[in-house]
């Protein structure tokens, strides 16, 4: 009987470790050059910033990528925000409940750091699980 309880306890601990959510957000975009042509099968320089308050607000997190991500045959670029090289801030420290937040993307179609294409859009849905964790919502402490 003791072995059964020990086995159940170890299983519960193992499952709680696997249930941890990653500190990342998936992001996809289609990359076009300044002429509007698709940038296909190329390494692209990317800088991501999370801004607080407005589209020109305070940078609370910023990252780049090395190696640079690559577009596919359709010009689609897929990255995980939170897994790049941190320039400033901490992704896990972003207080998602203190929004609004905006995502600023900067790209260099030639693969360098001369970011000639920029865009900013509001994050209408934030990683709520991260907000819940950070604010201890549902905690009885």
pLDDT digit string, tens, across residues 125-141? 765 555 555 555 555 45
Q: Is the pLDDT of residue 6 over 80?
A: no
Using alpha carbons, select from 88, 108, 107, 114 the residue that is nearest to residue 27.
107
CA separation (Å) from 134 to 21, 129, 131?
13, 9, 5
Q: Confirm if 118 and 105 have CB atoms less than 8 A apart.
A: yes
- In contact, 51 and 104? CB cutoff 8 Å: yes
- For residue 102 the two structure tokens come to 């905006």
pLDDT of residue 114: 95
Q: Which CATH class is domain 23-124?
A: mainly beta
Q: Would you say residue 25 has pLDDT above 80?
A: yes
Across the range 85-110, mean pLDDT stands at 93
Please give the biggest Cα pair distance in the chain: 71
- Average confidence (pLDDT) over 20-44: 89
* Average pLDDT taken over every residue of the chain: 83
pTM of the model: 0.75
Mean pLDDT over residues 57-80, rounded? 96
Q: How far is CA 5 from CA 2, 10, 47, 116, in A?
A: 5, 9, 50, 60
> Which residue, 107, 104, 103, 105, is CA-closest to 39?
107
């Amino acid at each position: 009987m003791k072995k059964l309880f020990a086995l159940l306890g170890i299983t519960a601990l193992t499952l709680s470790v696997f249930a941890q959510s990653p500190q990342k957000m998936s992001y996809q975009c289609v990359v076009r050059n300044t002429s509007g042509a698709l940038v296909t099968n190329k390494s692209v320089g990317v800088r991501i910033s999370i801004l607080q308050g407005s589209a020109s607000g305070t940078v609370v997190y910023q990252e780049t990528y090395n190696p640079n991500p690559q577009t596919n045959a359709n010009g689609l670029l897929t990255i995980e925000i939170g897994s790049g090289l941190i320039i400033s801030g901490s992704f896990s420290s972003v207080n998602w409940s203190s929004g609004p937040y905006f995502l600023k993307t900067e790209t260099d179609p030639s693969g360098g750091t001369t970011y000639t294409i920029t865009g900013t859009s509001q994050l209408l849905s934030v990683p709520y699980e991260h907000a819940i964790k950070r604010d201890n919502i549902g905690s009885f402490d």
